[in-house]
Structure 1
Amino acid sequence: MGKIIFITGGVRSGKSSFAESVAVKFFEQNQKGLYYLASGVPFDEEMKRRIVRHQKDRERSKKPWYTIDVIDELPVQSFHENDIVLWDCITTWLNNILYKTEHLKEDRLHKIHQWINQFQQAITQWKENGVIILIVSNEVLDEVPSSFQEVQLYRKLLGTLHQWIVSICDEAYELDYGICVRRK
């Protein structure tokens, strides 16, 4: 049986660095595949810089990271027992799904839930296959409620997804200002 570790925090809280360090520790113990599932889309200069920064962080670790872009569709890559999969981040992935389905009128929610169900099935299957999974997400639910319907939908979906992940994970951490607190 694998392991799921959920890591959340605000923007620039240190969650990605923490997740990468935990993944490297597992890699050093197991010497198995070390995968980074990247959901970021370089749509502006700031995002391009963030992506490059994350790439350089992984390069500095001198570990054999294998990066798979997961913009919306789940990876077809097969993961094996003791492989380490770090997914950074679920909030971006969900945002990409909302953007991709934005044009749909009648069956948008159904389509979004199909993607979420595929995500849940994949994570469950990976864990059953013995994969060590680290899931990074942003904590956006502490923000002031929005009057925009799309933001409300995003927060509702993300909150439900976070609750599901925490219910099945083995460990959950929250980072603020680089300080890590174990929640589960």
Structure 2
Amino acid sequence: MSKLIFITGGVRSGKSAFAEDYAKELYQKFERKNLYYIASGVAFDREMTERIKRHQADRKKAAIQWKTIEIQDEVVFSEVIYPANSVILWECITTWLSNVLYKTEQLDSIERIIEIEKYIKTLKKQLLQWTKDGAIVILVSNEIFDEQSSTYSEVNYYRSLLGILHQWIVHHSDEAYEMDYSKIKRWK
């Protein structure tokens, strides 16, 4: 059995805890061989450093052993992840995309758009390949679309890219959840 599962919600909504618990549940229920945690966070300030430490501590406390892989932007896993009979939790797509935008910000506009599209295309291809290979893949992302448009074009560009990516992910997902105040709403 393979699945693609999408979990979104605002900051501090409980989505990470839900995703980790759900990943462990699926790992045990379907007697999976590997439990992967893909971390995209970069400790660029004190708040992010503390958040990363909290997530690491939560995984260390778990009775199940996680295999953590740090992926900031490059989506190349052929030698790292063995998807067959695995559960893969990626935390989080929002951070991954902002890392991609940061990495490409020095390119001229046309070159940058082409490069960003390559990253996104590679991500999509990898997600479909994992599920084809038998993995259960859980993607976590932030819900940022309740806010008004920004006066900054880069923020609006990011929101546009993320919205299109979320739509693609949900379209291909078997399950889609939204977290709000630790309450779960299943959309798909």
Aligned length: 184
Instruction: Could you tell me which runs of 5 or more consecutive residues in structure 1 were left unpaired when the two chains were aligned.
Output: none
* Structure 2 counterpart of 1:18: 18
Query: What is the DSSP-based 3-state SS (H/G/I as helix, E as strand, rest coil) of the residue aligned with 2:38?
Result: strand
Structure 2 residue corresponding to 1:114, chosen from 112, 118, 134 = 118
Shift of 1:14: 0.3
Please list, as runs of the form range in 1=range in 2, the aligned pairs for 1:56-95 lying within 5 A after superposition. Answer: 56-76=57-77, 77-95=80-98
Please list, as runs of the form range in 1=range in 2, the aligned pairs for 1:34-73 lying within 5 A after superposition. Answer: 34-73=35-74
Q: How much identity, in percent, do the aligned residues show?
A: 51
Is residue 84–residue 132 contact of structure 1 (8 Å, CA) maintained in 2? Answer: yes
Q: CA RMSD in A?
A: 0.9
Query: TM-score, normalized by length of structure 1?
Result: 0.97
Please list, as runs of the form range in 1=range in 2, the aligned pairs for 1:100-111 lying within 5 A after superposition. Answer: 100-105=103-108, 106-111=110-115
Task: Give the Cα–Cα distance (whole angstroms) in 2 for the partners of residues 79 and 141 of structure 1.
Answer: 34
Shift of 1:2: 1.3
Is residue 68–residue 75 contact of structure 1 (8 Å, CA) maintained in 2? Answer: no
Deviations 1:63-91 (CA, angstroms, capped at 9, x unpaired): 11000001001142232322000000000
Task: Give the Cα–Cα distance (whole angstroms) in 1 for the partners of residues 84 and 32 of structure 2.
Answer: 11
* Structure 2 counterpart of 1:159: 163
Deviations 1:158-179 (CA, angstroms, capped at 9, x unpaired): 0000000000000000000000
Residue 171, structure 1, aligned to residue 175, structure 2: yes
Task: Give the Cα–Cα distance (whole angstroms) in 1 for the partners of residues 174 and 125 of structure 2.
Answer: 17
Deviations 1:41-62 (CA, angstroms, capped at 9, x unpaired): 0001100000000011111112
